[in-house]
Structure 1
């Protein structure tokens, strides 16, 4: 878990670079491209690439609860960073974190299938999830007025 956590921190750092270079994109597109870049970047990290829902389930059963909660907290802090780039969420950070963690595990499972349509499937799923969890800019101004 420590090794995976360190690799994930490296990926978060790469995400920060990506966000800085592409900050002019609209929020939903920025988020989509960022996550696709990260998921596709798993190819560089064979240990993370091999992880799947079975691995996650095993870790949840075997590791102390505090360890898993700390991992989720780290993920939440990275999700909060997205707000600095104009990405605002319709749900709480905790719910957003769990949604994106579930999505990541699904994408890891999908990569094991070696289907020619992986990218298309990932984009369709990501588009639909992001439509649900990211506020449109017009909704943000209404929220700020209230």
Structure 2
């Protein structure tokens, strides 16, 4: 089941014409991904501070399909397409009502902040990610 959350586009998220500025989308993507981890009990501040675990993005592919405007509410749906030993392949769909605004594929890797090397997902985080695993996507062998 996808993780869902909404975010309103503020003045600072838009260009002078009131259209969402794509770098703001990337900030929102990070915010939503962090919220998803927090929702299943793995808040990023504690992961970094207490567990010395990071989750850098190693692949990001975004398709922009329609504009969004100042004041609109973006509805995010984030699903897990594949879950590897140390990686997770996320699929994002961002919409305003029924209109898809953009989609993204994002691959994160669990990384030790001490060695900067990939590490296996801790069992509790793996379980949280697995709860969002979508059965409609074939696993990506590279993930």
Bigger proportion of residues as helix: 1
